[in-house]
Every structure is written in C-alpha cells, then in structure tokens.
C-alpha cells in the first residue's frame, strides 16, 4: 500500500511539473514584433500607418504626418524660425522646413499640438504618456538596451559599432532618426537622433520625451521645452 501511494504521488508531481513548464514557455517574453489583427490605421488626412504589437501595446510603425486635428481643424504649419520661436499654441514643421524630409521622418510637432484637446492621433489612438513609454522600454529590456531593438537598420549615421550591432529593430518599432526643431526654430541631429513626445508634463515649461541615438544601445527618458519640435508616435487606446 505504501508503494502504491508513493507512485501515485510521483505521477501527480510529474504532471504538475509538465503543466508548469508549458505555462512558463507559453508566457515567456519575446521582442519579436507581432502583426495586430488590423494592420494599418489612417489619420484624418488619409495617411496610412502600419501597426505593430509589442508586448501588450499596439504602436504605429512610422511617425505621425497629419496636418489636422482629429475634428478637422488645421494645425498651423510653420516655415519661419522667428515664428516658431514665438509659439505658445500647437504647430508643426518639416525638418529644416523642407517637405522632402517628411517622406521618411514625418512632421515635427511642438508639445502644444500634442496636448491640444482636439486630438492629434487618429481615432482610437493617442499620444503615449510617460508611463506608457516606460511600459514599452521595460518590455524591451530597459533603457540600457531598448534603443538597439527600436532602431531601424537604415537611415542612421553609424559610429564605429565597437560593442556590436547598434540597431536590430527586433521589436518592429522601426525608429528613424528625424532629429528635432529647437525652441528658436533651428534644427539638429537628423540621421543621428530620434525624439518623440509623451503626453506628460514634467513642469510648466517642459514635457517628458524619449530619445534614441546613433551611437549607443540606449532609449533615454528626458524632458525638453514644450516649444521644441519632436516626432510623434501613436498608441492604440
């Protein structure tokens, strides 16, 4: 009788171990991009954006390129440095005020456009908060390595990759180095850095953003003046 119960218990334990291993492997985290059920979303201008699921989030794979708020109101385009420097309301520009840069990099928006109640993102989507950016970055392994997994493998100016590949795009996020428009209307770092706004303020004058660089693995959390022009990515509600 003793041996019978011992064998019975052994079978139960073995069964539980098998179930636990199956659950572990089925729930293991992967950086590999997942195509969501709907593969694109369109903005009010008719631009289509490919989508990618990363962890529990569904992101647009390219930067926002819209010229109107969700209700149809026009977002002013700026083509002059002095005008940009004086803004306290929503606006956008192309890098160096050159529309050719919009093909790969989209538009650069000040934070006032991001924060406008009329809505910058397509219906069903929004500009991610600081916390939602954190969710993405930590799913990809943390600030120290996420940049490599986010960056596209083209359009970047590379430094000597001493420490191995600086861009794999293993997440499918497909970050391109669109640079930024400074608060005085000047431009910097195209082909070297990508900047994206969050919807979260850090102070009255500044808001949180995310940055990746040509020269390292990092996805950096930072804050900048709301008057700067950064790229925008959208996240499904």
Residue 43 lies in a domain: no
Residue 177 lies in a domain: yes
Residue 16 lies in a domain: no
Residue 36 lies in a domain: no
> Is a pLDDT exceeding 80 seen at residue 207?
yes
pLDDT at 151: 96
Query: What mean pLDDT is reported for the chain?
Result: 87
pTM: 0.84
Q: In terms of residue numbers, what domain contains 69? A: 52-236
Q: Which residues, including other chains, have CB under 8 Å from residue 73's CB and lie 6 or more apart?
A: 118
The pLDDT-based confidence of 166 (bands split at 50, 70, 90) is confident
Beta bridge partners of 224: 207
The total number of structural domains in the chain stands at 1
Radius of gyration over every alpha carbon of the chain, rounded to an integer in angstroms: 22
In terms of DSSP H, where are the helices of the chain? 2-26, 81-85, 102-105, 111-115, 130-139, 143-150
Q: What is the pLDDT of residues 216-234, one digit of tens each?
A: 999 999 999 999 999 999 9
Sign of CA dihedral 203, 148, 108, 61: negative
Q: Which residue in the block uniquely carries the two structure tokens 């019975």?
A: 8
Residue 65 lies in a domain: yes
Residue 163 lies in a domain: yes
């Amino acid at each position: 009788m003793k041996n019978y119960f011992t064998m019975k218990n052994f079978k139960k334990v073995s069964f539980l171990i098998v179930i636990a291993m199956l659950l572990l492997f089925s729930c293991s985290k992967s950086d590999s991009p997942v195509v969501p059920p709907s593969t694109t979303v369109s903005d009010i201008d008719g631009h289509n954006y490919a989508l990618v699921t990363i962890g529990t989030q569904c992101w647009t794979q390219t930067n926002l390129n819209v010229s109107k708020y969700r209700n149809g109101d026009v977002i002013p385009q700026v083509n002059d440095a002095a005008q940009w420097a004086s803004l306290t309301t929503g606006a956008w520009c192309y890098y160096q005020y050159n529309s050719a840069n919009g093909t790969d990099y989209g538009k650069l928006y000040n934070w006032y456009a991001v924060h406008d109640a009329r809505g910058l993102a397509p219906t069903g989507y929004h500009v991610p908060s600081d916390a939602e950016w954190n969710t993405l970055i930590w799913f990809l392994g943390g600030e120290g390595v996420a940049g490599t997994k986010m960056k596209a493998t083209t359009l970047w100016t590379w430094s000597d990759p001493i420490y191995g590949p600086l861009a794999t795009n293993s997440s499918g996020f497909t970050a391109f180095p669109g640079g930024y428009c400074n608060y005085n209307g000047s431009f910097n770092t195209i082909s070297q850095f990508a900047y994206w706004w969050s919807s979260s303020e850090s102070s009255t004058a500044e808001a949180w953003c995310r940055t990746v660089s040509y020269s390292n693995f990092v996805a950096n959390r930072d804050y900048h003046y709301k008057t700067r022009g950064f790229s925008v990515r959208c996240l499904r509600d």
